[in-house]
Structure formats: structure tokens, C-alpha cells
Amino acid sequence: DAKTTQPPSMDCAEGRAANLPCNHSTISGNEYVYWYRQIHSQGPQYIIHGLKNNETNEMASLIITEDRKSSTLILPHATLRDTAVYYCIVRVAGDDKIIFGKGTRLHILP
Amino acid sequence: DTAVSQTPKYLVTQMGNDKSIKCEQNLGHDTMYWYKQDSKKFLKIMFSYNNKELIINETVPNRFSPKSPDKAHLNLHINSLELGDSAVYFCASSQETGVQPQHFGDGTRLSIL
């Protein structure tokens, strides 16, 4: 079973920041938080991951709370191409098994 | 260049047939995976191979047999196909150790008639 909880769907206006929340209240000290997304008819795409510090790359920012029980993925300027299902995953470093939950279906509105 | 490529993209066949799906990665990764995404869109791992050695086998029926001729290829052979095998099958790869993410192909949509 997935160890994360996400809202089933969210809307965001094009050009605005999309903030996707994830709860992982049972996360352990050696588990990382990963985000992937799946655009329709494509394979999952890695976005970003972190342990406890906030992270930023060319795609997104990841904000992890101090107690690590929740996190937020931020797409700073959402475009229509960001419409996808976003998966928040916790995973122990070196564990090859990724357990995908139901994710959040993000709709970007023009 | 496509990093993880699967063929075919679509596969339609009759119940009882045997079929194979091929996967190749040009990322130099040591570990490759097969996932199944069913009609409810749940994505579940089936197998992982590291340097041609089976690492994960998630209680998949033995009608499914992965084969890894080298670390850049992981093929999936399915015997005696059943209606419940209809799904999208994704191949993925990653570096062997640490926290490196997995890179996925675009899937093979298998439909059993």
C-alpha cells in the first residue's frame, strides 16, 4: 500500500503556481520523498526528490515540512502541458521498489 | 534519443497466445524494471533486474518470464495470455544504488481479445 495521501484532483489556472500537497505522516528517517507525474498515454516522469531540505530544479520546487510528515510540490508557472496525474512517493534509499498510489489529477485551466 | 524504449507500442492478440515485449535503455543504467498499469490506473511493479540478475519478483504468475540478455535490455515474455493480462506495461531503468530516480518508457498497451 502507498504510504502517502494526496487529494484526488486539483485545478490551477494557467500561468499561476500549482501547489500539490502530500501527507506522509508515517515516513521514517531514511525515507526520501519523490514526485513523479504521468501525462496521458505516457510513462511516469521523474520530477524531483528530497530528504529533509527543500529542493528546486528546472521543473519544480519541493517543500518538506520540518517534521517531514508532509510536503508540497510547486510548479511555479503552470502551463497546459503540466496537466497530468502527480504521484507523491516515499522510498528508502537503495530500495528499488516504488509503490505508486492514486496520485492527484492536476487540471490546468486556460 | 529515446532513453527507455519499448516495442511494440500496441499489442492486440487472442487469449491463449504467447507474446513478447521488448525494452531497451541507452542510459547506461544497471537496473531495469517492468511495471503493470491496470484499467483502474494503478501502477505496480512486477520485476526488477540488476546486471541481468533478478532482484524483485512481485508474485507475478509464472506465465510472465522476464529475460535480460544484457544490462541494456529487459524483455517480457508472456505465455498463455489471459483476459486479465490486458493492461499497459511499462519498462523503467535506474542506476544501481543510492537515490537515483527511475526513468520510464512510454508503455506497451496490451489488449487481449
For residue B91, give how far its alpha carbon lies from the nearest alpha carbon of chain A (Å): 9
Which stretch of DSSP H or E encloses residue B113? none
DSSP string, chain A: --S-B--SEEEEETTSPEEEEEE-TT--TTEEEEEEEE-TTS--EEEEEESSS-EE-SS-EEEE-TTSSEEEEEESS--GGG-EEEEEEEEETT---------EEEEEE-
Residue A99's pLDDT band (boundaries 50, 70, 90)? confident
Please answer yes or no on whether B106 and A34 come within 8 Å at the CB atom: no
Structure confidence by residue, pLDDT tens digits, A51-86: 999 999 999 999 999 999 999 999 999 999 999 999
Q: In this complex, how many residue pairs, one in chain A and one in chain B, have their CB atoms less than 8 Å apart?
A: 52
Please answer yes or no on whether A42 and B107 come within 8 Å at the CB atom: yes
Q: How far apart are CA A36 and CA A47, in angstroms?
A: 5
* Cα torsion B96, B98, B102, B103: sign: negative
Q: Does A93 touch chain B (CB under 8 A)?
A: yes
Which phi and psi (to 5°) does residue B88 adopt?
-105, 130
Q: How far apart are CA A75 and CA A90, in angstroms?
A: 19
Express as a percent the part of chain B with pLDDT over 90. Answer: 66
CA dihedral A88, A93, A96, A98 (to 10 degrees): -10
What's chain B's average pLDDT? 90
Please answer yes or no on whether A98 and B48 come within 8 Å at the CB atom: no
Nearest to B21 by CA among B87, B85, B81, B91: B91
Residue B32's pLDDT band (boundaries 50, 70, 90)? very high
Cβ neighbours of residue B96 closer than 8 Å, sequence gap 6 or more: B29, B30, B31, B50, B51
Q: How far apart are CA A88 and CA B20, in angstroms?
A: 31
Residue B49's pLDDT band (boundaries 50, 70, 90)? confident
Structure confidence by residue, pLDDT tens digits, A20-58: 999 999 998 889 999 999 999 899 999 999 999 999 999
- Chain A CB contacts of B106 below 8 Å: 41-43
Question: What does the pLDDT read at residue A104?
Answer: 97
Question: What does the pLDDT read at residue A1?
Answer: 61
Residue A97's pLDDT band (boundaries 50, 70, 90)? confident
Residue B58's pLDDT band (boundaries 50, 70, 90)? confident
Average pLDDT over residues B53-81: 90
